[in-house]
Amino acid sequence: MMLERILFCCIFVGVLVSGQISDLRYTETNNDNIGEAIQFLREFDREAAEMCNRVANAEWRFSTNATEFNKRRMREQQNLASKFECISWRRAVAFDSTRIVDTSIRRQLGRIVQQGRCGLGEDGYGELQRVLAILKEKYNDARVCPFHGAEPSYAGTFSSPGAAAAAYKSSNYVTGYTDYCDLKISPDLTRIMETSRSEAELRYYWVAWREKTGPPMRNTFMRYLHLANQAAERHGFRDAGEQMRSVYEDSDFFFTVDDLWIQLQPLYRQLFTFVRKGLLRQYGEFIIRPDGPLPAHLLGNMWAQNWRHIYALVKPGPVETPDVSGEMVRQGYTPLKMFQTAEEFFTSIGLPPMAPEFWRNSMLQTPADGGGGGQCAASAWDFCNKIDFRIKQCTQVTLDDFVNAHHEMTHIQYYMQYASQPFLYREGPNPAFHEALANAVALSVGGPAHLQKIGLLNSPVSVTNGNTAINIEYLLNMALDKLPFMAFSLAVEKWRWYIFDKGPVGMNARWWEFRLRYQGLIPPAVRGYEHFDAGAKYHVISDQDYIKYFVATVLQFQIYSELCQAALHSGPLHTCDFYRSREAGRILSDVMQQGASLSPQQLIKLMTRGRTSRMSVDALLEFFRPLEAWLELQNRDEQLVGWRSTMEDVALYQPLLGRNGGQITPIIVPGHLLLGLIVLMLVKSCF
């Protein structure tokens, strides 16, 4: 009897473990017929391009004329595209790509099989799409009441996680003037966070936006987590985080980004300390602790993802930034002239001009009738037919939009350069390359050297001395834009990978742990388990990869440095302008033409002419070296470079269970450890 019991338990444990493993990977068949694979990819190439063209046309019509009819037509085309994606996935997964020797065919099949969520099956995939649609709708429908009057005296003194929200809700501070509760995140709240210098007002809008977005989406988001993980397992990944990382084709990618950030931390901490000193002057020690982290609502952005809008607060002395936008107006620049100037930049380095279809079909400024549906975010469009490429931008005559015109036209150049590739290769090798190349061009165009060269900047610019006032101002502006964004994107994705792996228990506390660790930020009000502050960011609830912005920032400086070397630049890196360099244009064209036919590592090796195949922050550090030396001088009397967190900081988002009740953060047991504990308990019970 004892022997039978042991045998039964061992069989049961074996079934349990094997069942857990068998669900982890969708098994391919053993079809390795190269002819069938070639025929499938030929058909896919034609059908995918046609489908992409129909979707792009429908999305363009809605983005330029946001009627309900156009919205319905767009959704119909998007649904058809989703069905086509899953049909193609089922056909592609029938091939055993490991037994196909042709590397290009194997790579194309892999790009279809590994990504997406079609492994969920029709019902699961449909549910995931509905869940994401609900999350997006709730986010887009969120509206906030305007701020009226001074902050109540009780603000900042709450003793429990729910007390802050309850106090806000019970006062006119939030609920007054409810007839006018129609403020949207863009442009209303974005503009307020950029321009307001009232701590009370900024705190109010910071809290109010998170009340309207996070809690209503929390449970729906947890359903999304479950479905995304289930889909990843069916596609052969441990969880959805591993699936998202796989597009970077680096088995150590989780640690690669950590290693890159470790090298950047000293520069970030110098910038952080300098910014804290400026905010301390503005708000005083009651709000800003001289050695502590920064409250997240005071940095000129709803998510504190870039800090360039508080430049005037942190820079010592008066702001003397040259008025390039005013000079553009004086010289008669128009939106059309700005894009014609961008085109001339590319033809000067040997790249082709824009096609007639571009000028005929693009929307380069707000229509005279005010149409366009209010969607003014700059974007570049590929209509997937190799001839129709467009830009949509509500262009104003400003320096920012001038640089954006070059940025968006870089995307168009990329589309044009890889248009002859198979459809599956008509994109960057990973999600970061498009942004990286566009931003590398922007580094050249937006720098003082180029602006002086084309007659928009009359101030003296030294290409041999990086420490002139205009150079430091330029570098400080760039650092406030780039470095906090890198820290934020790393915090967002590390949090997302964590909850995909460990589950959603305590996920809001985890969110602030990562924000404190990477950015040095704390919430301005107590956050409890009922909050979902990550849901205040659209990319999180809409299932969009965010680490691409971290990678793109690293790559843009690496690419920029290579193009500057090709242009034979000498002097500080930030003074480089590769305008009119045919050799720089040749390297840019060589990289763009490959599309996704090469891995990211192979493309970096091509770009560096064989010197390295790895991402590196050396160029970024070189670019900011004059600023880092200047910051070290500015911070020489500071008691701490960086931040020191206290129990009070942590208690803002991680309340502890006391004798009188309150919250406690549950212990999180990873799934594989939980399975091991169950197995041990079963084995023990057998004996």
Which residues are annotated as part of the binding site? 248, 407, 411, 435
C-beta separation of 394 from 375 below 8 A: no
Q: Is 434 a catalytic residue?
A: no
**How far is Cα 331 from Cα 235, in angstroms, rounded to an integer?**
56
Q: Is 539 a catalytic residue?
A: yes
The beta-carbon contacts of 215-223 under 8 Å, at least 24 apart in sequence, are: 215/530, 215/531, 215/532, 216/138, 217/135, 217/138, 217/139, 217/532, 217/535, 217/541, 218/530, 218/532, 218/535, 220/131, 220/134, 220/135, 220/138, 221/135, 221/504, 221/532, 221/535, 221/541, 222/504, 223/131
What DSSP string describes 603-622? HHHHHTTTS-SS--SHHHHH
Beta bridge partners of 391: 380
| Three-state secondary structure of 343-395 | HHHHHHCCCCCCCHHHHHHCECCCCCCCCCCCCCCCEEEECCCCCCEEEECCC
* Binding site as annotated, residues for Zn(2+): 407, 411, 435
**How far is Cα 539 from Cα 132, in angstroms, rounded to an integer?**
11
**How far is Cα 507 from Cα 108, in angstroms, rounded to an integer?**
36
**How far is Cα 267 from Cα 256, in angstroms, rounded to an integer?**
18
- Name the phi and psi angles at 105, rounded to 5: -65, -45
Report the Cα 280 to chain-centroid distance in Å.
Answer: 29
Site of tokens 């659209």? 538
Task: Name, in order, each residue with C-beta under 8 angstroms of 139's C-beta and a sequence gap of 6 or more.
Answer: 213, 217, 535, 538, 541, 542
The beta-carbon contacts of 234-238 under 8 Å, at least 24 apart in sequence, are: 234/23, 234/25, 234/26, 234/119, 234/120, 235/26, 235/113, 235/114, 235/115, 235/116, 235/117, 235/119, 236/24, 236/25, 236/26, 236/114, 237/24, 238/24, 238/501
Catalytic-role residue among 539, 583, 628, 632: 539
- Name the phi and psi angles at 317, rounded to 5: 85, 180
Catalytic-role residue among 85, 211, 233, 408: 408
Smallest CA-to-CA distance from 134 within 224, 59, 231 is with: 224
* Binding site as annotated, residues for chloride: 248
Torsion angle defined by CA atoms of residues 265, 269, 271 and 276, in that order, rounded to the nearest 10 degrees: 150
Strands 294-295 and 521-522: parallel
Site of tokens 């209503």? 216
Q: Which residues are known catalytic residues?
A: 408, 539
